[in-house]
Amino acid sequence: MKTLNDAFHHTLKDIYYAEQALTKALPKVAKATSSAKLKKAVDEHLSETREQIELLKKVFSSIDKKPEGEKCDAIEGLIKETEGIIEEASGVALDAALLAAAQAVEHYEIARYGTLREWAKVLGFEEAHDLLTQILDMEKAANAKLTSMAVETINKTK
């Protein structure tokens, strides 16, 4: 990478890979949780993730690039950590740790989409900027939902 445009395209491929990987990981999280609320939130986010993949395809199209992913070590690590939680934790610790892992993913995505959105603006990619803003708003809402769930129910169980 030598230019901001190169960094933008690389990061876009990175997050595209991440979203694809999450469509495989989220059903495992939903299956592992004993909390009906957390399961519902994870299932809803899986649906949103599929929608975000479609929006990302539009971002690629808007900059005349083919939608393709590039291995994202960060999301691979977060998924591996979540798989470890599923294997090692149980009871209330499992639900609390799964929720925390889900928030770690959301925070990663918020950071990536925030960066991509601002780079799109600087690069003059207006349509990409608008689409990335839409995805960023979805990720922020998902994080807020998880925070509320943690505070109101999941973390109160001892």
The CATH number of the domain where 108 resides is what?
Answer: 1.20.1260.10
Length of the chain: 158
Q: Average pLDDT of the chain?
A: 95
Q: Is residue 84 part of a domain?
A: yes
b/e sequence 141-152, b meaning 16+ C-beta within 10 Å: ebbebbeebbee
Q: How is residue 78 annotated by DSSP?
A: H
114-126 mean pLDDT: 98
Q: Is residue 21 part of a domain?
A: yes
Q: Is 3 left (phi over 0), alpha (psi -120 to 50) or beta?
A: beta
- Tell me how far the alpha carbon of residue 145 is from its chain's centroid: 14
33-49 mean pLDDT: 93
For residue 129, pLDDT beyond 80? yes
Please give the tally of structural domains in the chain.
1
Predicted local distance difference test score (pLDDT) of residue 32: 95
Q: Is residue 23 part of a domain?
A: yes
Domain span including residue 70:
4-151
122 contact partners, CB below 8 Å, separation of at least 6: 4
Q: Are 74 and 109 in contact (CB under 8 A)?
A: no
54 to each of 62, 90, 116, 136, 156, how far by Cα in Å? Answer: 13, 35, 16, 14, 37
Reported as a pLDDT band with limits 50, 70 and 90, residue 154 is confident
46-65 mean pLDDT: 97
The C-alpha atoms of residue 96 and residue 1 are separated, in whole angstroms, by 39
Q: Is residue 157 part of a domain?
A: no
Predicted local distance difference test score (pLDDT) of residue 92: 86
Q: Is residue 158 part of a domain?
A: no
- Write out pLDDT tens, residues 8-28: 999 999 999 999 999 999 999
Q: Is residue 47 part of a domain?
A: yes
84-91: long-range pairs with CB below 8 Å, 24+: 86/28, 86/29, 86/32, 91/34
Predicted local distance difference test score (pLDDT) of residue 158: 62
The pTM of the full predicted model, rounded to 2 decimals, is: 0.94
Q: Which amino acid is at 10?
A: H
